[in-house]
Amino acid sequence: MWSPRTILVLLGVTGALIAVLVHQKRLNDSEAMPLFVWALWLVVVGGTIIRTFRGRLGNALQAALIWAVIVLALVAGYTYRFEFADAANRIREMLAPRPIT
């Protein structure tokens, strides 16, 4: 489905669009390269996903939903990390109180 020629054309079009944005001064040089790297990763990962789940849209949506839930749980855990640390400290103090000196 994704021939090497197709991938090269997609990368070429992406590179040309980034070059036009740099030339029009909408992007500076330090912003252009990371954008191209992200576009490269998007093409590679997207092509791999499309090739892996070819003809199995239900399985692809199920896998995407599972990954979305995992990412959401990680973001929520990071957001509430201080509250979780406080709760863990309170539980630890209840289970193993410090001796009074």
DSSP 5-61: HHHHHHHHHHHHHHHHHHHTTSS-HHHHHHHHHHHHHHHHHHHHHHHHTTT-HHHHH
Q: For all residues of the chain together, what is the average pLDDT?
A: 80
Q: Where are the domains of the chain?
A: 1-52, 56-101
Q: Which two tokens stand for residue 58?
A: 């239900």
- Give the span between the Cα atoms of 20 and 16, in whole angstroms: 6
pLDDT tens digits, one per residue of 9-48: 777 787 777 777 766 666 666 776 777 777 778 777 777 7
Q: What's the predicted TM-score (pTM) here? A: 0.48
Query: Is residue 8 packed enough to be buried (19+ CB in 10 Å), middle (13-18) or exposed (0-12)?
Result: exposed
